[in-house]
Amino acid sequence: MAQTLAQKILQAHTDQRIEHDGQIVRCRVSLVLANDITAPLAVKSFKGMGAAQVFDKDKIAFVMDHFTPQKDIDSANQVMVSRKFAEEQHLTHYYEGGNCGVEHALLPEMGLVGPGDVVIGADSHTCTYGGLGAFATGMGSTDIAGGMALGETWFKVPPTIRVNYTGTMPKNLRAKDLILMLIGKIGVDGALYRALEFGGSVIDELDVEGRLTMANMAIEAGGKVGLFPVDEKTRAYCAAHGRPNVSLLAADEGASYERVVEFDVTNAEPVVACPHLPGNIKPVSAVGELPIQQVVIGSCTNGRISDMRDAASVLRGRTVNPKVRCIVLPATPSIWKQCLAEGLFEVFTDAGCIVGPPTCGPCLGGHMGILGDGERAVATTNRNFRGRMGSLDSEVYLASPLVAAASAIAGTIVGPDQI
């Protein structure tokens, strides 16, 4: 039968013949991932099930990115549990210190995930790697423990929703806007246990960093995975990051989709996800003059070098509003060094921004930017649930780095054309 991207990738990792959506299949995994919050739970389950050895020390990655550098005793102990297990199992890919970055930016950059892979991670935004054409999804720590021990797991083959973006991309529209537009249209459960397969002329022209941003937020629509075809852009990215000679990969002509969603972006303007759901979308011009106290530019969604350059293009020669703290967090050490080499840190600090290390930090209300009662933030992160960044009485608005940087300058939520 003609297969979707999800079906094709799973078929390559199972000995069973995939015949229909909803079928249960056992698949070999390419990589298993956990972080400083979820790894200790996975380690406990791993030992509790009587496992002695991971299936492959080269195919397990532990990335200490959520609360590091460790913010308190509890987070330090979490990291100690993870580090000890990594040492006992001789894991090749353990990242904690100066080599550590935000996991979903770090692993693609290092070539540890790529086209056609099946990746499971104890983090919901593992779906990021679909930007490279990998079937990548988040799971609970117990399932991750099983994956670490066995090197395989089971999936229910997801139905696929095809999403096409066409038209001409306006100059201030970014991948973040594209994915927020989709979530706003179908809702936060509109793709529940579905594969989102992205295509259309706009996607053909979109760079790989933008694709990773969109795949990252597939889970915010309930998606099991967010998948992009592997084209020449993907191949060039992979070759530059240690994965040469990858094969092209696309859905078969005539593949069957549960639903097709279409967007013509020609006249679209940047959007903002208002509290307290990623699907509560408004055009930035319709948000109104809401004063803000914080801006966060970074995370596994928008902490890549293209995001840093976008923010710098707005902040250059301008000053952050004195009532706003603007926090900039490049997602990996490599991106941090690239920002330094390009003079972006000078742009940020001259504008009055706070530049920090590669860390998840404020995205999950961890550290380095917690919101107090009644405070309002614009963030390039992926979630704005009540209390996500701190106080239950705070508010988080999700936006692209262009909108976030413009808002930092204005002190209210605006687009780059409004400053």
DSSP string, 111-162: TSS-TT-EEEESSGGGGGGGGGT-EEEE--HHHHHHHHHHSEEEEEPPPEEE
What are the φ/ψ torsions at residue 396 (nearest 5 degrees)? -125, 130
| Pair of tokens at residue 147 | 């994956």
Residue spans of the chain under pLDDT 50: none
Alpha helix stretches (DSSP H) within 245-389: 299-302, 305-315, 333-341, 344-351
Whether 231 contacts 115, CB under 8 Å: no
Fill in the DSSP letter of residue 26: E
Q: Are strands 160-166 and 195-199 parallel, antiparallel or unpaired?
A: parallel
Superfamily of domain 272-418: Aconitase, domain 3 (3.30.499.10)
CA distance 42 to 30: 18
Q: At what angle do helices 208-216 and 175-186 cross, to 10 degrees?
A: 30
Nearest Cα neighbor of 156 from 27, 25, 259 is 25
Q: Residues near 59 by Cβ (< 8 Å), separated by ≥ 6?
A: 29, 30, 31, 32, 151
| Pair of tokens at residue 367 | 């550290």
Nearest Cα neighbor of 83 from 35, 150, 123 is 35
353-365 burial by CB neighbour count: b if 16+ within 10 A, else e? bbbbebbbbbbbb
Note the pLDDT of residue 205.
97
Note the pLDDT of residue 1.
85
- Helices (runs of H) and strands (runs of E) counted in the chain: 14, 18
Superfamily of domain 5-156: Aconitase, domain 3 (3.30.499.10)
CA distance 222 to 366: 23
Whether 229 contacts 240, CB under 8 Å: no
For the chain, domain boundaries:
5-156, 160-264, 272-418
Each residue of 27-53: pLDDT tens digit?
999 999 999 999 999 999 999 999 999
Each residue of 168-219: pLDDT tens digit?
999 999 999 999 999 999 999 999 999 999 999 999 999 999 999 999 999 9
Whether 102 contacts 307, CB under 8 Å: no
Same topology between domain 5-156 and domain 160-264? no
Strand partners, 137: 120
| Pair of tokens at residue 366 | 């961890």
Note the pLDDT of residue 289.
85
Residue with tokens 């706070």: 354
Residue with tokens 């106080």: 391
* CATH 3.40.1060.10 for domain 160-264: yes
